[in-house]
Amino acid sequence: MHGLKNAANPLARRWFLQQCGVGLGAVALRQMLHASDPLAPKQPHHKPTAKNVIFLFMGGGPSHLEIFDHKPELARHEGTLPPENLLEGYRAAFIDPSSTLLGPKFKFSRHGESGAELSELVPHTASIADDIAIVKSMVTDAFNHAPAQVMMSTGTQQFGRPSMGAWTLYGLGSESRDLPGFVVFSSGQKGPSGGNTNWGSGFLPSMYQGVQFRTSGDPVLYLSNPAGVDRQLQRDSLDSIRRLNSIRLGEVGDPEIETRINSFEMAYRMQQSTPELMDIAQEPQHVLDMYGAEPGKPSFANNCILARRLVERGVRFVELFHESWDQHGDLISGLQKNCKDTDQASAALVKDLKQRGLLDGTLVLWGGEFGRTPMVQGGTDDGRDHHPNAFTIWLAGGGIKPGITIGKSDDLGFNVIEDRVHVHDLHATLLHVLGFDHTKLTYRFQGRDFRLTDVAGEVATKLLA
């Protein structure tokens, strides 16, 4: 019943060969081993509505109260203490939880036919209000950055578990012959708090981990030939390597040599295709303008265009980290800057995918690791602490119902009161649109079948189209 279990595991491979390999010659066997390439495209459990994912990870914890979750009551109660019963058992990262409430700092209005309520900070997101589904009822378990990011990425606060992208690649394989199936970009003020664990493969085979790309210098580590090695020499060298490896293969018979030959050839193809892929100057000016992208100047906007270009080339999972949403202070100016950096490009990405007919098969996910406290941090009424009890994300495409808002937080934006969507539920939903029953996409490790959703998770059916 665990259809995909251990596809890449030697034990499984042994079974595969023992059960199916009887009587086959070496050539056929080698073909079979090749066919059991763990990155080969695979069928999920049911018909998927999305085959690609673009995750816009807003690291640091964007304030739901300033951007998405309009709370007039919070404004009315500004300067007063939150009700005591709200704070029972509540732990904050920096502040004494018994700090005064801080009203929202930006104006809200309704947008689109759906009438989604968004603040003035995100006018471009407002323009795609009818294309996205807003979830105002997100909940997570952790209130420090690293554990909460790792929770969002892997479904647990423990380091060492596979990330969403790794699970996706494990489940669906890759459709790109020249590019990694899971690509990660970073922008913003800082790097991800959870580090490489955010796109790690955990206990899954390491071929499923995310590969970091960047928009200046070598897009992929060691992609360029060293000084003095021109394209012809690289090709000549690879031909020699291939021929010598083939001689060895003939002598020792180890099919792993065949895999090595293929790895080198794919490396060469990556060298040829990646520079073209990364060259966003090829995009027409109106597309660049739509995103607010400037070729040659690293930015979240450039990364958004690249995300689209990667999806066009069959890359399964693209993750864009933008870490700068930790507004303990400078809430107003910090949010203005962050939204200026991300709002237009995020909206453009959705529009662009839609125009190209790619949105149907691509899930776009925008969100951070937690929200921010309704209580103030700092003496200048211009900061909020980390808040795990309620926050907002949005999704678009890939079988998500457009133009809806689900979930509610209470009048202060403190706790979720309707349609609670825990991070586990988000993961279950993500896997669902990709065609998986999240309880059945498992991998055996240390004697246990692990899953992205641990032992929890319910598909948020209200989000499905």
Query: Under rule CB under 8 A, which residues in 19-38 are in contact with another protein?
Result: 21-22, 24-26, 29, 33
10 lies in the site for another protein, by CB under 8 A: yes
Per-residue CA distances from 344 to 211, 281, 305, 462 (Å)? 26, 19, 12, 27
41 lies in the site for another protein, by CB under 8 A: no
Pairing type for strands 448-450 and 443-445 reads antiparallel
Q: Which helix (H) or strand (E) holds 186?
A: strand 182-188
Angle between helical axes of 164-172 and 423-433 (0-180°, round to 10) = 20
DSSP letter, residue 288: H
- Measured from the CB atom, is 240 or 282 closer to another protein? 240
226 lies in the site for another protein, by CB under 8 A: yes
Query: Which one among 83, 115, 253, 275 touches another protein, defined by CB under 8 A?
Result: 253
Per-residue CA distances from 388 to 261, 392, 405 (Å)? 48, 11, 20
| Integer Cα distance of 454 and 465 in angstroms | 26
Query: Which one among 19, 85, 113, 222 touches another protein, defined by CB under 8 A?
Result: 222
CB of 373 to another protein, least distance (A): 11
Query: Under rule CB under 8 A, which residues in 292-351 are in contact with another protein?
Result: 321, 323
Query: Under rule CB under 8 A, which residues in 90-119 are in contact with another protein?
Result: 91-96
Angle between helical axes of 331-355 and 300-312 (0-180°, round to 10) = 20
237 lies in the site for another protein, by CB under 8 A: yes
Query: Which one among 31, 100, 144, 336 touches another protein, defined by CB under 8 A?
Result: 144
276 lies in the site for another protein, by CB under 8 A: no
Residues binding another protein: number (CB under 8 A): 98
CB of 328 to another protein, least distance (A): 8
Query: Under rule CB under 8 A, which residues in 114-143 are in contact with another protein?
Result: 143
Query: Under rule CB under 8 A, which residues in 405-444 are in contact with another protein?
Result: 439, 442
Query: Under rule CB under 8 A, which residues in 177-196 are in contact with another protein?
Result: 180, 186-196
Determine the longest span between alpha carbons in the chain, in angstroms: 80
- E strands of 301-390, at which residues? 317-323, 362-367, 371-376, 384-387
- Measured from the CB atom, is 83 or 195 closer to another protein? 195
Over the window 147 to 166, marking each residue x when it contacts another protein by CB under 8 A and - when it does not, the resulting string is x-----------xx------
Residue 311 CB-half CA count within 13 A = 31
DSSP states of 234-272: HHHHHHHHHHHHHHHHHHH--THHHHHHHHHHHHHHHHH
